[in-house]
Structure 1
Amino acid sequence: MKKKVAVITTKFLEEFLNNSFNEMNIDCDFQIYIYETFEDIKNIYLNIPLDTEGILTSGVFPAQVIKKSFQENTIPISYFNIDDADIYRLFFLILYKNRNLDINRVYADPLGAFDIDLNKYLQSNHKLDYSEMIEPMVKNMSLEELKDIEKEQLKKHVTLWRNGHIDISVTRFSSLVEPLKKLGLKVYFPFPSHEYLKDSCMQLCQKIDLIKMKENQPAAINITIENSGVLDANLERKYINLHEALLDFSGSSLMEYVIQRNALGFEILTHRKKIEEKTLNYTSCTLRNFLKDRLDFKVYIGYGIGNDMYQARMNAIDANREAVINQVEGSFLINNLNELIGPLGLPSNFIIQDNISEKIKSLTKNISLSPITIRKVVSAFKSMSNEQLTAKELALKLSITQRSANRFLSSMEKGNMVKIIDERRITTKGRPERVYKLNDQ
């Protein structure tokens, strides 16, 4: 099936792009959406079909307008700029068609953006990696600056022409070509080569394929009934009620779940995209909220994502174990990178990373804490801007008691994993709070 790609561009480029797409052997269904100015891009984005899998824009500016306007956007975006070869090719075409042209009477905004003199550029055979130069500049621009740049460049071209300083304009903004022509200017635009355009399309296709691969990654949910390992006359009733609730929760998506009973509860086999939907991108746990309203007993939930189903199932079991150990209202998730995320649905939700430093790893042997506990504490430190914590702050981060936090920090201090760097007094009474920092330098 062809990938559905929305192409956001100008009327000036529409015919060129249609012809180029027809010549390319790319498995995409390109739908072109026209904007007149960057102000139009927001509405175009809002009106593209929901099944759009990728967005291709004519230049980095429209792409950045989308990214700045819709920071929650998950649709992959690629764009085609102009490159050094395109600029060179255009300038020699201009010189060929205008044999008596004074090159000093040409204004080229692709070069003007970087204060590069056109005459020196051509004489010195200067190489301009336009994409690498323009991208950092555009990324640092605010949304308002992005929207205003068209107007500023239009004004500059027109002012130079009306003041008699130029005879020819070269612009990288396809949206300015027609307005400048209507005013009577002689305008050139550096069209991208078919090869460059095709490369941009292929990059977008790769992004789409990567997202699909991630969405289809194996995933599992492990749901256990509280105290299911002990004798309980009502245990079978709980199993039945839980199973019915899970079927209701699945609803119209039942075909995307495999629900199976195990010794302690139920296991659901699914895929990553469904987990992301049900956890609101790993920030909440809609399943827990649903079951809490339906059941008169407590359950624990762990989510797992893996590179294969075995890893996903093991991660779900480990994540469920975290929920049991922590005894909090939220659930936990372990992804294919072995990062523990949670508690989902609580303010203290954060990512517990697996990539702790080699020095920290070497010190764990001398500490009477589990590896996962150490990872959680280290990740809590790393989540702070200054990588410093008090016991009270650690307790809030991990949703544990301050007594447990003190015990963790005391054990890690004895093992030389953390060090006390300060004491902080919150009130005039009582002991000051110790401020700890990781000893990983």
Structure 2
Amino acid sequence: MYNICVFSTKYSYRWVKKCESIKINNVNLQIYIYDDLSHLEKLFLEKVKNYDGVILSGQIPYLHIQKYLNEYFSTIPCAFFDITERDFYYKIAEIQYKYPEFSFKHSMIDFLFKENNYLSLKDIVLPEDLPYHLSDSIEVFGQPNAYEVVYEAHAKLWEEKRIRFSLTRLTNLYTYFENENIQPILVTPTFDSMKITILEILKEIEVVNLMNSQVVAGYLEFSMSQNDPTEIEYRQIALYKSILDFNRKLGISLITYRSAIHYELLTNYSDFSMITNNQQNCSLVDFLREQLSFKVKIGWGIGKTLQEARIQAEKAATYCTGSLTESYILTKENHLIGPLDGKTSIAMKDSDIDKLEEISNNTNISLLHLQKIYGLIYKLNKESLTAEDLSIHMSISVRTASRILKRLEEFNYASPIANNVTRAKGRPSKLYKMNL
């Protein structure tokens, strides 16, 4: 049985409650009502550990949780009930029947943006007859005062007498207009589209479960300054004991195989994610640095088969060239992640944290990503980075890294500079000087 929780305001509950009558095998839905976004954060933190997936009633709560609780948001499949083209045009037909004078040209529709292809309106309606819309990007709903931003956009157009109709997704928008004799038209997801959302998040949950059950290999090799059998035996015993102690400390069971000067570990993806904090830092590194007087190379390998994972792990260990115990990951797509330095984090000044929060609010890039970039600049001791640098060290795709850098460039927090280092294939990667 998969347990999915749904978060809704008291206003949205009027239509969200329809999902309770959706019957899908092995799915149990539980709805929770929140008062405001601060209350939503508390509920999310309280409930997320007990559920397999989360659905938000709309894009504002979804983007809020994604931005402010990203470290928890990324650990569980999340979605929001969206309006499909079918939902939209069904509602438009209803509106045109009820209001024969309706026209797109004299309307404000606050849920049209490039991410949903403007619900194909730009393919149907002439440019001069298109409705007003809030923003070209859904990211506007991630602002701290999103509800006020939406209201003010509608109110300004009414005040200027440009529109006669307001179409909205915000179920509480009418409360803002109570004293202005304006009644927004609410558009909500239909029963069928809500069912589609639930089925989609169910697929994500099944993928996560499949990933968590896959095997991950670890390759631990200790350094040897000389070929001394007594020293080799001592280090074998010391490393093996440390692995057992680490197992007990975390309450996990790493299957361990011993060879001459290395150990092989086998575990599942779920425990591997815990050990590496979702491939961000490696608690085993810190533990071994404290327990052992000698360096250990730790390679983690993920593969389609156990043999492939073992090969990837051994390759990953070869990248450990530092003077201390460290760790690298080599994924089945041959993405190298590391070095993972352990649980220690960079001490940040309050002024730096405030600055990163300001950048996060301006760019709508999550504070967690900005902190990682800040840490990467510190760790690599350089202010100029490529998308590949971010991809390797932040465990994100190159495409995502490029989007982050372009977003920072747009707001003058990064600037492209000449890069004379040529890659093995293709042209040089674009280099950005960071200004955080």
Question: Normalising TM by the smaller chain, what interval?
Answer: 0.5 to 0.7
For 1:50, the aligned partner's letter is K
Q: What whole-Å deviation, never above 9, does each CA across 1:18-62 have from its counterpart, x for those lacking one? A: 333323325332222224555654344333342333221222232
Q: Which residue of 1 aligns with 2:338?
A: 342
CA drift of 1:148 comes to 2.8
Take 1:178 and 1:387, find their aligned partners in 2: how far apart are those partners?
A: 45
Q: Which residue of 2 aligns with 1:18?
A: 17
Unaligned runs of 5+ in 2: 114-119, 344-379, 394-418, 428-436
Take 1:263 and 1:8, find their aligned partners in 2: how far apart are those partners?
A: 54
Take 2:264 and 2:13, find their aligned partners in 1: how far apart are those partners?
A: 51
CA drift of 1:272 comes to 2.4
Take 1:32 and 1:284, find their aligned partners in 2: how far apart are those partners?
A: 35
- Does structure 2 retain, via aligned residues, the 8 Å contact 1:109–1:172? no
Q: Which residue of 1 aligns with 2:84?
A: 83
Q: Which residue of 2 aligns with 1:56?
A: 55
For 2:149, the aligned partner's letter is I
Take 1:330 and 1:91, find their aligned partners in 2: how far apart are those partners?
A: 59
Say if 1:346 and 1:62 are closer, same or farther in 2 by CA, change over 3 A.
closer
CA drift of 1:345 comes to 0.9
CA drift of 1:7 comes to 1.4
Structure with higher Rg: it is: 1
- Does structure 2 retain, via aligned residues, the 8 Å contact 1:69–1:143? no
Q: Are 1:264 and 2:248 matched, yes or no? A: no
Unaligned runs of 5+ in 1: 115-120, 348-379, 390-396, 398-434
- Does structure 2 retain, via aligned residues, the 8 Å contact 1:5–1:31? yes
Take 1:147 and 1:91, find their aligned partners in 2: how far apart are those partners?
A: 23
Take 1:68 and 1:208, find their aligned partners in 2: how far apart are those partners?
A: 21
Q: Are 1:294 and 2:291 matched, yes or no? A: yes
- Does structure 1 retain, via aligned residues, the 8 Å contact 2:295–2:324? no
- Does structure 1 retain, via aligned residues, the 8 Å contact 2:298–2:325? no
Say if 1:241 and 1:206 are closer, same or farther in 2 by CA, change over 3 A.
same
Take 2:332 and 2:388, find their aligned partners in 1: how far apart are those partners?
A: 28
Take 1:182 and 1:256, find their aligned partners in 2: how far apart are those partners?
A: 63
- Which range is displaced more, 89-98 or 250-259? 89-98
- Which range is displaced more, 296-305 or 306-315? 296-305
Q: Which residue of 1 aligns with 2:373?
A: none
- Does structure 1 retain, via aligned residues, the 8 Å contact 2:283–2:342? no
CA drift of 1:173 comes to 1.0
CA drift of 1:250 comes to 0.6
CA drift of 1:219 comes to 0.9
1:190 to 163, 187, 190: 187
Q: Which residue of 2 aligns with 1:376?
A: none
CA drift of 1:8 comes to 2.0
- Does structure 2 retain, via aligned residues, the 8 Å contact 1:247–1:254? no
Secondary structure at 1:239 match in 2: helix
Q: What whole-Å deviation, never above 9, does each CA across 1:376-405 have from its counterpart, x for those lacking one? A: xxxx9xx9547999xxxxxxx9xxxxxxxx
Q: Which residue of 2 aligns with 1:240?
A: 237
- Does structure 2 retain, via aligned residues, the 8 Å contact 1:229–1:264? no
Q: Which residue of 1 aligns with 2:313?
A: 316
For 2:199, the aligned partner's letter is M
Q: What whole-Å deviation, never above 9, does each CA across 1:215-244 have from its counterpart, x for those lacking one? A: 333112222232299342243333233222
Secondary structure at 2:55 match in 1: strand
Q: Which residue of 2 aligns with 1:412?
A: none
Q: Which residue of 2 aligns with 1:438?
A: 422
Q: What whole-Å deviation, never above 9, does each CA across 1:63-86 have from its counterpart, x for those lacking one? A: 122222233331322122223433
With normalisation by structure 2, the TM-score equals: 0.65
- Which range is displaced more, 227-236 or 296-305? 227-236
Q: Which residue of 1 aligns with 2:8?
A: 9
With normalisation by structure 1, the TM-score equals: 0.64
For 1:335, the aligned partner's letter is T
CA drift of 1:203 comes to 1.7
- Does structure 1 retain, via aligned residues, the 8 Å contact 2:6–2:55? yes
Take 2:104 and 2:222, find their aligned partners in 1: how far apart are those partners?
A: 79
CA drift of 1:257 comes to 1.9
For 2:303, the aligned partner's letter is G
For 1:438, the aligned partner's letter is T
Take 1:89 and 1:387, find their aligned partners in 2: how far apart are those partners?
A: 43
- Does structure 2 retain, via aligned residues, the 8 Å contact 1:41–1:65? no
Say if 1:181 and 1:203 are closer, same or farther in 2 by CA, change over 3 A.
farther
Take 1:135 and 1:77, find their aligned partners in 2: how far apart are those partners?
A: 23
- Does structure 2 retain, via aligned residues, the 8 Å contact 1:108–1:171? no
Take 1:196 and 1:252, find their aligned partners in 2: how far apart are those partners?
A: 46
Q: Which residue of 1 aligns with 2:139?
A: 139
Take 2:186 and 2:141, find their aligned partners in 1: how far apart are those partners?
A: 23
Take 2:5 and 2:152, find their aligned partners in 1: how far apart are those partners?
A: 28
Secondary structure at 2:49 match in 1: coil
Counterparts of residues 40-439 of structure 1 (less than 5 Å) = 40-72=39-71, 73-74=73-74, 75-94=76-95, 96=97, 102-103=101-102, 109-110=108-109, 126=125, 137-139=137-139, 143-152=143-152, 155=155, 170-177=167-174, 186=183, 188-227=185-224, 230-251=227-248, 253=250, 255-323=252-320, 327-345=323-341, 385=385, 436-438=420-422
Say if 1:46 and 1:82 are closer, same or farther in 2 by CA, change over 3 A.
same
- Does structure 2 retain, via aligned residues, the 8 Å contact 1:219–1:269? yes
For 1:203, the aligned partner's letter is E
Take 2:177 and 2:105, find their aligned partners in 1: how far apart are those partners?
A: 14
Say if 1:313 and 1:176 are closer, same or farther in 2 by CA, change over 3 A.
same
Say if 1:67 and 1:8 are closer, same or farther in 2 by CA, change over 3 A.
same
Say if 1:307 and 1:25 are closer, same or farther in 2 by CA, change over 3 A.
same
Q: What whole-Å deviation, never above 9, does each CA across 1:326-374 have from its counterpart, x for those lacking one? A: 5554222212212222222189xxxxxxxxxxxxxxxxxxxxxxxxxxx
Secondary structure at 1:144 match in 2: coil
For 1:61, the aligned partner's letter is I
Q: Which residue of 1 aligns with 2:401?
A: none
- Does structure 2 retain, via aligned residues, the 8 Å contact 1:224–1:266? yes
